[in-house]
Amino acid sequence: MNFPLEQPLFQFFYWLVNTPGAGAGIVALLIGGALLTFFLTLRWIFSAKSDEQEAHPYPPGQ
Amino acid sequence: MTNWCMVIDLDKCVACQACSIACRMENNTPVVSPEEAKNGRAIRWNDVFPLPVHFGPDLGEYPNVKTHYQTRPCMHCKNAPCVKACPVQATYIDEEGIVRQNYNRCIGCRFCTVACPYGVRYFNWYKPQWEGTLAEYRNPDQVRVNGSLEGPAVRPVGVVEKCTYCVHRLVKAREQAAAEGREFRADEYVPACVQTCTGKARYFGDLDDPNSTVSQLSKSLRAVHLLEDSGAHPKTLYLSEG
Amino acid sequence: MLQTLAQHDRDELIAPLYRFDRKFWGIVAFLAAITAPGLLLYGRQLIVGLGVTDLNRPVFWGAYLVNFIFLIGISMAGTVISATLILLKVEWRRPITRIAESLTVFGLMTAGLQIIMDMGRPDRLLFTLIYGRLQAPLMWDIASLTIYLLTAMFALYLQLLPDIAILRDTAPAAVPEWRRKLYKFLSFNWRGNKEQWERLEKAIVTVSVFLIPIGISLHTVTSWLFSTTVQPGWKSTILGPYFVVGAIYSGLGLLIIAMSFARVYNPHLKEYITEKIYTNLGWIFIVMSGVWFYFTLNETLVVTAEQETLEFPIMASKLFGQFSPAFWGMNALMIAATWMLLAPKFVSDKPSRNPLMKTPVGLSAAVIGLAIFSLLWLQPVSVFADPVFQTVFILAFVALLFLALLGVTKWLKTHLIPSSVIASSFVLFGMWLERWNILMPTLTHARLIPYTTYDPTLTEIAVTVSTLGILTLIFVLFYKFFPSISIWEVEEGRARELGAGD
């Protein structure tokens, strides 16, 4: 059996977990992704068409 | 590449604690008050402590008294738990196998101190202080890595510090060799504790060189690592007593 | 009829938001007073260094870290109650989702504070974002905590959105301009038309789906901080699930205390937060305490039975040594809490003829017993040193505890809400001790450093009190700006119940 770190894939993983800044980048990506998702969700909710004039205080039934 | 390693022969060690003091003077470790030391705040990169560790020294009964001591620098592990635990890579293993500490980056989370099974990492609970004129006798040597001071530089409050195998001596020896225009040899450098050892119990050198003293001694049947079961692959070797 | 009820809701839930009476300022002043000393002492710690704590080598982590795990634990309330119950479409959740969601957010905020207070160099906090390494467990915790906090805040905001719109539309004339602007900004252009509602509901369900695994990840990652080290006592695979169970357990405790606090503060809430909710939460509580006891048994039994040389001294210090008061105190608190929730289910409302079941008799018997017990304890020559006496006294103590619990059972039966609150505070205190019992025995029993002790100093105690003060203060202030009960959810539930649809 070869030592896994001889494979470039594992070398990349090793670099990824071991490099200062790389981890921060991934965490920043995760956080940024979450924030972007939240922003897009809000935009999606607010952009709902408002043809009807009526407003409901709670979800209207089906 | 060189792979620095220390071998401590416990048969030769007389527990004089000279290594501990030499280390203190060489590396500018701050002095703490006796009360603080009692509360476990003393900083001794190279500690000398009685065995067994936990229930006090086992002296035996008079007149058959006997004590056992052990001296403990950093193990400079190949698979160092402290290095794996540091979130900002303030502690790292350099190309020559020395586990080093970057005081300017350490955030003081103390994860490394908790992760280290040997307890050789120390935290600066207060701003380091020296009594009276002691501050004038601080070691002026400097090791600068990417602009930040390491090794014996005076540590700020709230960071972790540890034994570096006197890395500033290595830097100085290299500079000397370069100034004299010759190749650096592995036997030109030893840490302060090795130089000062009363019983000549400490050996230092390149583990990768098959002819060096340390690699010869590492093949001895008496050669043991401390807490081998921790999986940290410690490098500092002990030649067991008896 | 729905219209009048809706008007009633608005009167009782919205009107108190604009009433800055003496009660409110009194509570704020009290909380500020208990928060201030801790902040001052923390300021001193910032200047002098962490030496003002009792942390030492090898006890590098102390009360701050215990608080951190505890606060992470209580923040589980939102995930469990809100997200799970929303997904299961449980109707009785409606009045408590808001409080549950917000506790998650506040708990995580104060937990983050603990980490900063524990750092030797808080000025270098941003280094974790510049030089962060993915191999370090602390980095996983930072990632998990941040994402959990953001998601919980988002979930809370989505829940709040229709209510903020109500606030925006109904603000009385006397409301200051900045508050109006705040509501206007936060509700953006929420008009509550049919499509917006459909999208909002979809978003709430989706966030709830994500919230549960993210929450569980935070609790397990926090346990990995400890179990990924090579220290004996922490090298345990059960620590992750144990933390999750403990988190749900203590989270429920905080939720019950918080909603009871809201009820006492605004008595009108009694119409919404009914006894039925307490009964239902009580059942979840009982189940969780069963699971928690089983996990504790697992943790204790495995280490005790294997007698591993490194692990066992740590377990022994919990069972018989330095940490035995904390360990057995925790167990006694949890047993008492479980009894308080479970025992009333098995007795009738009618007064019992059994004298031990009469509250005064049972309680006074226990108090007299405890008095004798403490008198013996204070004797200059301790009788407890004798092993036989020790056994007698342990059995006597257990019997007295049982007697006291038996005595109060009838009272518990008739006082559901006070008994739930007392049980919850027992659980919260017990869970804090549990976290202490996980951290401290391992830290004080290092392998190559003599065994040591750790007693928190005034700074650590004051900062702990002040953290709880900050948590309560955020809670109180937040609910001065937003209704503590989700108006739209309650109205929707009522409409469903009456079968009126829209």
pLDDT tens across B114-125, in order?
999 999 999 999
Cβ–Cβ below 8 Å for C448 and B89: no
Q: What chain C residue is nearest to B39 in terms of C-alpha separation?
A: C56
| Cβ-contact C316, C372 below 8 angstroms | no
Q: Mean of the pLDDT values across residues C451-456?
A: 92
- C2-498 belongs to which CATH class? mainly alpha
| Cβ-contact B13, B242 below 8 angstroms | no
Comparing C194 with C68, the larger pLDDT belongs to: C68
Q: Mean of the pLDDT values across residues C245-269?
A: 92
Counting one residue from chain A and one from chain C, the pairs whose CB atoms sit within 8 A come to 120
What is the pLDDT, as a whole number, of residue C502?
A: 45
* Band of residue B127 on the pLDDT scale cut at 50, 70, 90: very high
Share of chain B above pLDDT 90, in %: 74
- Say if C221 is an interface residue toward chain B (CB within 8 Å): no
Distance CA C329, CA C467 (A): 23
**Mean pLDDT of all residues belonging to chain B:** 91
- Say if C132 is an interface residue toward chain B (CB within 8 Å): yes
Distance CA C442, CA C9 (A): 53
Q: Mean of the pLDDT values across residues A3-30?
A: 89
Q: Which residue has the tokens 């794996």?
A: B84
Q: What chain C residue is nearest to A41 in terms of C-alpha separation?
A: C203
- Say if A40 is an interface residue toward chain C (CB within 8 Å): no
**Radius of gyration for chain B, computed over Cα atoms and rounded to the nearest angstrom:** 18
Q: Is the pTM above the cut of 0.90?
A: yes
Which residues of chain C does A21 touch, with a Cβ-Cβ cutoff of 8 Å? 130-132
Q: Mean of the pLDDT values across residues A9-27?
A: 90
Which residues of chain B does C232 touch, with a Cβ-Cβ cutoff of 8 Å? none
* Chain B: touching chains (3 or more CB pairs < 8 Å): C
Q: What chain A residue is nearest to C214 in terms of C-alpha separation?
A: A34
Q: Indicate the pairing of strand B4-9 with strand B237-239.
A: parallel
Assigned token pair, A46: 């607010």
β-partners of residue B93 are: B99
* Band of residue C15 on the pLDDT scale cut at 50, 70, 90: confident
Nearest residue, CB atoms, A57 vs list C150, C188, C192: C192
Best mutation target, B29, B107, B162, to test chain C (most C CBs within 10 A):
B107
Nearest chain A Cα distance for residue C181, angstroms = 18
| Cβ-contact B29, B23 below 8 angstroms | yes
Per the structure, the complete domain to which residue B36 belongs is given by: 4-51+66-239
> Is C238 strand, coil or helix?
coil
**Mean pLDDT of all residues belonging to chain C:** 90
What is the pLDDT, as a whole number, of residue B121?
A: 95
Q: Indicate the pairing of strand B143-145 with strand B47-51.
A: unpaired
Cβ–Cβ below 8 Å for C197 and A60: yes
Q: What chain B residue is nearest to C52 in terms of C-alpha separation?
A: B125
pLDDT tens across C408-439, in order?
888 888 889 999 999 999 999 999 999 999 99
- Amino acid present at B121: R
Cβ–Cβ below 8 Å for B106 and C120: yes
| Cβ-contact B99, B84 below 8 angstroms | no
What is the pLDDT, as a whole number, of residue C292?
A: 95
What is the pLDDT, as a whole number, of residue A62?
A: 54
| Cβ-contact A48, C193 below 8 angstroms | yes
Q: For residue B59, is it within any domain?
A: no
Q: Mean of the pLDDT values across residues B90-106?
A: 93
Cβ–Cβ below 8 Å for A23 and C151: no
* Band of residue B11 on the pLDDT scale cut at 50, 70, 90: very high
Which residues of chain B does C127 touch, with a Cβ-Cβ cutoff of 8 Å? 88, 105, 107
Above 70 in pLDDT, residue C500?
no
Distance CA C138, CA C134 (A): 9
Nearest chain A Cα distance for residue C216, angstroms = 17
What is the pLDDT, as a whole number, of residue A51?
A: 63
Above 50 in pLDDT, residue B58?
yes
Distance CA C266, CA B34 (A): 56
Give ipTM to 2 decimals: 0.91
Nearest chain C Cα distance for residue B37, angstroms = 9
Q: For residue B60, is it within any domain?
A: no
Q: What chain A residue is nearest to C169 in terms of C-alpha separation?
A: A57
Q: Mean of the pLDDT values across residues C334-355?
A: 86
- Amino acid present at C382: S
Q: Which parts of B111-240 fold into alpha helices (H)?
A: 111-115, 167-179, 192-196, 213-218
Q: Mean of the pLDDT values across residues C185-210?
A: 89
pLDDT tens across C67-115, in order?
999 999 999 877 777 898 999 988 899 999 999 999 999 999 999 999 9
Q: Mean of the pLDDT values across residues B197-216?
A: 93
Q: What chain A residue is nearest to C191 in terms of C-alpha separation?
A: A55
Above 80 in pLDDT, residue C346?
yes
What is the pLDDT, as a whole number, of residue A52?
A: 65
Distance CA C383, CA C392 (A): 11
Would you mind telling me the total number of residues written for chain A in this entry?
Answer: 62
Which residues of chain C does A57 touch, with a Cβ-Cβ cutoff of 8 Å? 6, 162, 166, 192, 487-488, 491
- Say if A44 is an interface residue toward chain C (CB within 8 Å): yes
Q: Mean of the pLDDT values across residues A24-41?
A: 94
Which residues of chain A does C502 touch, with a Cβ-Cβ cutoff of 8 Å? 56, 60-61
**C-alpha distances in Å from residue C322, one per residue of B77, B114, B133, C426:** 33, 20, 42, 22
Question: Which CATH number goes with the domain that contains B33?
Answer: 3.30.70.20
Residue B168 has phi, psi (to 5 degrees) of -65, -30
Above 70 in pLDDT, residue C396?
yes
* Band of residue C501 on the pLDDT scale cut at 50, 70, 90: very low
Distance CA C86, CA C64 (A): 34
* Band of residue C237 on the pLDDT scale cut at 50, 70, 90: confident
What is the pLDDT, as a whole number, of residue C398?
A: 84
What is the pLDDT, as a whole number, of residue B59?
A: 78
What is the pLDDT, as a whole number, of residue A47?
A: 86
| Cβ-contact B212, B54 below 8 angstroms | no
> Domain total for chain B?
1
Cβ–Cβ below 8 Å for A24 and C130: yes
Nearest chain B Cα distance for residue C466, angstroms = 21
Nearest chain C Cα distance for residue B49, angstroms = 9
Domains of chain C: which residue ranges? 2-498
